[in-house]
């Protein structure tokens, strides 16, 4: 291996690492706020990439029907709950409207816009608008009523959600894989290295999102409320921060980050309905590196995973997944030596 | 709320606690076992024999998950990978070298156990969710390894595995193999039932609700977590060995992460807290999966693994609405009779030599504890002599419970020393301190609600007994168990609770639960008893009963250190009182001296400025 190859591999690894970083941040965020180890984070990535691909093809993306089914299920669950507890009809109606408004509106737009062949950027925005509401809807269906369950139960629920989402993904998107067009086809050369426009976009978008997240947590009231919930759920609740709205917000952000990652990764690889799992798990390895707690460590870990993957695929391409997932063992060993106390639950 | 996996909510659901029962064992189990063993001889179509073999194979794996998830409160998504280790070892050795199936079984199990030990050593010292995360990574990594190794046949796997020939009999792949699969599955179930009703079994149950109480009873929680994970891997590898000879071919896909999740689904659906839940879950999943794989693609119009949608949704729904699984509905038909009392003539457990009256037992010497910048305990010193009752009092937040945790090794010291009969004990783990003869109760009762009072108290005798997993499975531990239960009953009688010994601990009111904790602590044969707010939340007559019990213990020569808020309770009981405020020792003296002290009044009632 000479320096040029090393440079190409490093750049490749960092590009993927930037996407894993976003997913790792989302994983840490969701775990800190809700104690949910959100295995299906990667599903949002696949859904984002596939939605854009179908819009590109002039088709109404399966996401639309998927979203309407989810929103309908949540409305139904709310309705049953309301009937059982004899809530007034007005309140139930308002709740149903609040649940349905966004999904229905964005679905109508998507059905209208799909055959129009809108510019790529508009389709990207529509994709994010379609995938983001999956987060809060999934939270409400699967997790909200289990908010006081143990981490273990929530983890098993996550695995169930992953199973259901992958199966539904197959139903709504089909088994076919898609590769999206680049957002920017420019190739930039410097110092013997070629940087694709897409890589530049990935770096810029990731950086912008990380800065945005930082500003959100440091400056905004909602961000501070999430941090408060992460530190002490009960204390935050006593200060008037509802843990379920904190949960919904964190899942919304996770889905947004996932959809965006899907847009970014779409042009670099062929995405199938079940591709999200492996992509998400790589973000996961990074999040575990960070002890599911530290954002900066998650970032470092994600870039490490990206580099490990690209160099691994150069040396032993068949074993790159083995290398990436095997690397979690030394990471866990390091963590257990660093922080050996056993937590009581 | 999830009752079976979350121990905390257990006390709410009496209907769910059906333990392996003598009645079930006497009639239902032999009948079921006999049926499964002779099933191939009956005119049952081949299709059902095949299904039944699959159910047996799955149940062996799910059984490991019941022990791991339902009993120990851990979980694994990588069990399918352990099955794969067993299957690939058998397949590779049988096709390349024609090795004896006994040898391939031994090697497959050894490999799986080695992998489990490695994963466990790395993850089990940390919070419970690191093990399942590591098993996901292990499952994926192993699956990709199988799929890429030239000598393992890559994605095609290994074909042409011979059928099992044991003792010169070719078992084939259908009716001949069925009795072997089910004999192993039933033996595994029997072993699991025996394990759960034994010293190591109670230790594994204790692990589920956090480590503090278990460690205070002298149990190494790490060792038992590792043990139960290894048992689960062992069972999975045995199932894999059978699987290879049943299918006569192996390929990577049945050992992937999805299958690993499916095994967990079987255990959760069947009832993750029940041995028979593993069998019920395996049967339901196998039979329903078979139907769904035909039905759903027809319904939808394209082929694909749509059954995962149903499994995923059902998994979430079960955890939400029926966390005890399907077995809790079936188990009602097999009620558990009370434990028959067979320990009447058991010889007593050996006791430690008790310290002489007046000996200096415990020295707390300038003990200090910092939490970040906060000084929670600030150079506190006092002594406790054998036969005395010393009370530690002070307003909320004075650092009393922290001091307790420092003495019992739950928290490390920031400075100072704790000496037990002249020996420094600070820095030792709490289970080692417990074994020296210091036993404790907790401010918030810590118990195993789904075990009886007697079994909870028997947990205290853990450190005085020796039986391990093997003795429990082979029932070589019965003499010791009788001694242990005799001791537990004796301690319950000592505090006046012998009547309630067969009740489930979770069904007791708070007062008796606190008394039960004292009996459990007494069952450790302590020289010093530490009681953390024993009277908190008790009604007036319960407090009087408790005071009488403590006086009686003192009369029998026991030494006590108690943290308490209730002044009436303390003043009538203690020989010496140590008053703490804001982490420092305010005063130490007899109850009369303390009551007369203006500083104490100021601390409790405030001062005039």
For residue B172, the cross-strand partners are B164
Give residue B529's pLDDT: 93
Pairing mode, strands B559-563 and B389-393? parallel
Q: Are strands B559-563 and B528-532 parallel, antiparallel or unpaired?
A: parallel
B130 with A335: Cβ contact below 8 A: yes
Specify the pLDDT at position A321.
84
% chain B with pLDDT above 90: 37
Contacts of A167 in chain B (CB under 8 A): 304-310, 312
Using CB atoms, which residue from B133, B268, B306 is nearest to A288? Answer: B133
Query: Which is more confident, B163 or A137?
Result: A137
What confidence score (pLDDT) does residue A343 get?
46
Asked if A171 is an interface residue toward chain B (Cβ–Cβ < 8 A), one would say: yes
Indicate the residue of B132, B258, B309 with minimum beta-carbon distance to A164: B309
Residue of B429, B421, B415, B444 lying closest to B527 (CA atoms): B421
A332 touches B: beta carbon within 8 Å? yes
At residue A208's C-alpha, the angle toward residues A207 and A210, to 5°, is 65
- CA torsion angle for A29, B210, B323, B317 (degrees, to 10)? 10
Contacts with B65 from chain A: Cβ below 8 Å = none
Pairing of strands B528-532, B389-393: unpaired
**pLDDT at site B21:** 47
Q: What is the pLDDT of residue A324?
A: 86
- Is residue B31 scored above 90 in pLDDT? no
Nearest one of B179, B89, B213 to B142, comparing CA atoms: B89
Asked if ipTM goes beyond 0.85, one says: yes
Torsion from C-alpha of A141, B270, B202, B535, nearest 10 degrees: 40
Query: Which pLDDT band holds residue B286 (cuts at 50, 70, 90)?
Result: very high
- Measured distance CA(A303)–CA(A14) in Å, rounded: 6
Judged by average pLDDT, the poorest of A297-311, B186-200, B562-576 is B562-576
- Cβ of A328 within 8 Å of Cβ of B306? The answer is no
Which residues are paired to A187 by β-bridges? A196
pLDDT exceeds cutoff 50 at B11: no
Q: What is the residue extent of each domain of chain A?
A: 29-184+195-287
Q: Which pLDDT belongs to residue A345?
A: 38
Tell me if chain A has a CB within 8 Å of the CB of B320. Answer: yes
Q: Which of residues A2 and B194 earns the better pLDDT score?
A: B194
Which is more confidently placed, A157 or B306? A157
Mean per-residue pLDDT, A44-63: 91
Query: Phi/psi class of residue B341: alpha, beta or left (left: φ > 0; alpha: ψ in -120 to 50)?
Result: beta
Task: Please check the confidence at residue B4 and state whether its pLDDT lies above 50.
Answer: no
- Rounded to an integer, the average pLDDT of A189-203 is 79
The rounded mean pLDDT for chain B is 87
Lowest mean pLDDT among A188-192, A261-265, B166-170, B317-321: A188-192
- Does the structure show a pLDDT above 90 at B238? yes
Given this model, what pLDDT does residue A266 score?
84
Whether B15 has a pLDDT exceeding 50, the answer reads no
B491-535: per-residue pLDDT in tens? 999 888 888 888 889 998 888 898 899 999 999 999 999 999 888
Of A141, A167, A332, the CB nearest to B309: A167
Alpha-carbon distances, residue A253 vs A26, A27, A158, B460 (angstroms): 7, 10, 17, 48
- Min Cα separation A30/chain B (Å): 15
Centre a 10 Å sphere on the Cβ of residue B494 and count the other Cβ atoms it contains.
17
B122 closest CB neighbour out of A167, A281, A329: A329
Q: Does B222 touch chain A (CB under 8 A)?
A: yes
Percentage, residues of chain B above pLDDT 70: 95
Interface contact flag, B2 A150, Cβ < 8 Å: yes
How many CB pairs below 8 Å do chains A and B form together? 168
Q: Of B6, B132, B141, which is closest to A322 when you measure between CB atoms?
A: B141
The counts of H helices and E strands in chain B are 24, 12
Q: What is the 3-state secondary structure (H, E, C) of B502-555?
A: CCEHHHCCHHHHHHHHHHHHHCCCCCEEEEECCCCCCCHHHHHHHHHHHHHHHH
Q: In a mutagenesis test of the A interface, which of B124, B132, B224, B310 is the best target, namely the one with the most A β-carbons within 10 Å?
A: B132
Tokens of B444: 């918030």
pLDDT computed for residue A340 by the predictor: 55
Alpha helix ranges (H) inside chain A: 3-34, 41-56, 62-84, 89-113, 120-131, 134-138, 151-173, 197-219, 221-231, 233-238, 243-265, 276-289, 295-315, 320-326, 328-338
User: What are the C-alpha distances in Å from B452 to residues B151, B198, B338, B503, B514?
Assistant: 53, 13, 9, 5, 14
Q: Inter-axis angle of helices B46-65 and B257-270, to 10 degrees?
A: 90
Which DSSP string corresponds to B225-291? HHHHHHHHHHHHHHHHHHHHHHHS-B-SGGGSHHHHHHHHHHHHHH-TT-HHHHHHHHHHHHHHHHH
CA distances, A150 to each of A19, A331, B7, B206 (Å): 30, 24, 9, 16
Interface of B with A in 429-448 (CB under 8 A): none
Predicted pLDDT of residue A339 = 66
Which residue has better confidence, B354 or B457? B457
pLDDT at position B1 over 70: no
The pTM is what? 0.89
pLDDT of residue A289: 85
On the question of pLDDT at A341 being above 70, the answer is no
The class of domain B360-605 in CATH terms is alpha beta
Which helix (DSSP H) or strand (DSSP E) does residue B58 occupy? helix B46-65
Cα B277–Cα B457–Cα A150 angle in degrees, nearest 5: 45
DSSP B452: B
Q: Is B12 near chain A, with CB under 8 Å?
A: no
* Average pLDDT over every residue of B160-184: 84
The residues pairing with B250 across neighbouring beta strands, listed in sequence order, are B158
Q: What is the pLDDT of residues A280-306, one digit of tens each?
A: 989 988 988 888 888 888 889 999 999
Indicate the pLDDT class of residue A58, thresholds 50, 70 and 90: confident
Mean pLDDT of A260-267: 90
pLDDT at residue number B240: 95
A-proximal residues of B, 264-303, CB under 8 Å? 264-265, 268, 300, 302
pLDDT digits (tens, 9 = 90+) for B298-339: 887 777 778 888 889 998 998 888 888 888 888 877 777 778
pLDDT for B116 equals 93
The predicted pLDDT at position B609 comes to 55
Angle in degrees, CA A69, A75, A78, rounded to 5: 140
Distance (Å) from the C-alpha of residue A194 to the closest C-alpha of chain B? 32
The two tokens of residue B92 are 């590779």
Closest to A22 (Cα-Cα) out of A283, A249, A251, A292 = A283
Model pLDDT, residue B239: 96
Q: Sort out which chain A residues have CB atoms less than 8 A from B322's CB and list them.
A: none
CB–CB contact B129 A151 (8 Å): yes
Mean pLDDT, residues B561-565: 88
- The distance of A216 to chain B (nearest Cα, Å) reads 28
Dig out the tokens for A256 from the structure.
């947004």
Q: How far is CA B579 from CA A277, B400, B436, B589, in A?
A: 58, 9, 27, 9
Contact assignment for A325 to B133 by CB distance below 8 Å: no
Q: Which residue has the higher pLDDT, B15 or B344?
A: B344
Under DSSP, the state recorded for A271 is: B
pLDDT tier, B17 (very low <50, low <70, confident <90, very high otherwise): very low
Provide the token pair at B304. Answer: 């694909």
């Amino acid at each position: 291996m000479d320096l040029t190859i090393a440079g190409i591999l490093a750049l490749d690894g960092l590009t993927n690492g930037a996407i894993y970083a976003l997913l790792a941040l989302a994983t840490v965020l969701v775990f800190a706020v809700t104690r949910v180890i959100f295995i299906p984070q990667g599903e949002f990535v696949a859904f984002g990439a596939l939605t854009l691909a179908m819009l590109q093809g002039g088709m109404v993306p399966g996401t639309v029907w998927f979203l309407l089914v989810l929103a309908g299920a949540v409305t139904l669950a709310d309705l049953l709950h309301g009937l059982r507890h004899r809530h007034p009809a007005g309140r139930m109606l308002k709740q149903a409207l609040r649940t349905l408004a966004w999904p229905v509106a964005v679905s109508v737009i998507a059905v209208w816009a799909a055959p129009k062949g809108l510019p790529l950027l508009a389709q990207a925005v529509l994709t994010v608008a379609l995938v983001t509401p999956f987060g809060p809807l999934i939270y409400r269906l699967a997790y909200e009523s289990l908010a006081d369950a143990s981490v273990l139960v929530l983890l098993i629920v996550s695995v169930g959600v992953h199973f259901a989402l992958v199966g539904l993904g197959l139903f709504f998107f089909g088994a076919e894989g898609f590769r999206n067009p680049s957002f920017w086809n420019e190739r930039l050369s410097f110092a013997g290295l070629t940087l694709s426009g897409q890589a530049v976009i990935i770096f810029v978008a990731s950086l912008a999102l990380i800065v945005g997240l930082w500003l959100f947590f440091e400056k905004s009231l909602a961000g501070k409320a999430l941090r408060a919930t992460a530190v002490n759920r009960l204390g935050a609740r006593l200060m008037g921060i509802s843990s379920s709205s904190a949960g919904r917000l964190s899942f919304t952000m996770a889905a947004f980050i996932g959809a965006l990652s899907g847009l970014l990764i779409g042009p670099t690889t062929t995405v199938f309905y079940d591709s999200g799992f492996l992509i998400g798990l790589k973000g996961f390895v990074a999040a575990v590196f960070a002890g599911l707690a530290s954002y900066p460590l998650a970032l470092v870990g994600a870039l490490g995973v990206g580099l490990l993957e690209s160099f691994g695929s150069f040396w032993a391409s068949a074993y790159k997944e083995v290398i990436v997932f095997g690397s979690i063992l030394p990471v866990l060993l390091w963590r257990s030596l660093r922080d050996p106390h056993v937590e009581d639950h | 709320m999830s009752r079976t996996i979350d121990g905390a909510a257990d006390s709410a659901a009496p209907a769910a606690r059906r333990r392996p029962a003598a009645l079930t064992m006497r009639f239902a189990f032999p009948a079921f076992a006999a049926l499964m063993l002779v099933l191939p001889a009956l005119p049952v179509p081949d299709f059902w024999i095949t299904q039944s073999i699959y159910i047996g194979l799955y149940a062996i794996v799910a059984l490991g998950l019941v022990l791991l998830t339902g009993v120990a409160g851990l979980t694994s998504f990588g069990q399918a990978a352990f099955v794969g280790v067993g299957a690939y070892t058998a397949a590779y050795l049988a096709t390349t070298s024609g090795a004896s199936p006994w040898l391939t079984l031994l090697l497959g199990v050894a490999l799986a156990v080695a992998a489990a030990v490695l994963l466990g050593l790395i993850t089990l010292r940390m919070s419970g969710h690191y093990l399942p995360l590591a098993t996901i990574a292990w499952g994926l990594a192993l699956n990709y390894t199988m799929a890429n190794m030239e000598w393992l046949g890559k994605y095609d796997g290994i074909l042409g595995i011979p059928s099992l020939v044991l003792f010169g009999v070719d078992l084939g792949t259908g009716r001949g193999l069925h009795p072997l699969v089910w004999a192993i599955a039933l033996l595994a179930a029997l072993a699991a039932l025996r394990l759960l009703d034994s010293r190591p079994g109670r230790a594994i149950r204790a692990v589920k609700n956090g480590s503090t109480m278990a460690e205070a009873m002298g149990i190494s929680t790490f060792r038992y977590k590792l043990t139960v994970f290894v048992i689960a891997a062992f069972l999975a590898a045995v199932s894999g060995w059978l699987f290879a000879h049943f299918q006569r071919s192996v390929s990577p896909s049945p050992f992937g992460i999805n299958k690993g999740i499916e095994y967990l689904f079987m255990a959760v659906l069947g009832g993750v807290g029940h041995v028979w839940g593993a069998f019920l879950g395996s049967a339901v999943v196998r039979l329903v999966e078979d139907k769904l794989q035909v039905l759903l693609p027809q319904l939808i119009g394209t082929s694909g693994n749509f059954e995962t949608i149903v499994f995923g949704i059902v998994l979430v729904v079960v955890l939400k609405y029926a966390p005890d699984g399907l077995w809790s509905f079936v188990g009602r038909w097999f009620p558990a009779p009370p434990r028959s009392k067979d320990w009447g003539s058991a010889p007593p457990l050996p006791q430690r030599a008790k310290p002489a009256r007046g000996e200096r037992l415990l020295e707390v010497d300038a003990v200090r504890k910092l939490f970040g910048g906060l000084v929670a305990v600030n150079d506190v010193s006092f002594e406790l002599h054998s036969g005395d009752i010393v009370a530690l009092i002070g307003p909320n937040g004075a650092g009393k419970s922290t001091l307790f945790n420092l003495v019992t090794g739950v928290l490390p010291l920031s400075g100072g020393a704790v000496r037990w009969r002249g020996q420094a004990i600070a820095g030792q783990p709490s289970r080692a301190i417990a074994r020296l003869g210091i036993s404790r109760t907790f401010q918030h009762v810590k118990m195993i609600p789904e075990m009886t009072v007697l079994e909870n108290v028997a947990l205290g005798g853990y450190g005085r007994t020796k039986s391990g997993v093997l003795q429990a499975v082979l029932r070589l531990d019965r003499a010791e168990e009788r001694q242990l239960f005799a001791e537990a009953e004796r301690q319950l009688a000592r505090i006046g609770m012998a009547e309630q010994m067969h009740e489930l601990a979770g069904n007791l009111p708070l007062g008796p639960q606190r008394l039960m904790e004292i009996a459990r602590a007494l069952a450790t044969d302590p020289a010093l008893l530490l009681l953390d707010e024993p009277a908190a939340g008790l009604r007036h007559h319960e407090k009087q009963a408790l005071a009488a019990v403590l006086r009686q213990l003192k009369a029998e020569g026991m030494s006590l250190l108690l943290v308490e808020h209730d002044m009436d309770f303390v003043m009538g009981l203690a020989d010496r009182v140590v008053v703490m405020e804001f982490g420092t020792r305010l005063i130490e003296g007899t109850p009369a001296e303390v009551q007369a002290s203006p500083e104490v009044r100021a601390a409790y009632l405030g001062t005039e400025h």
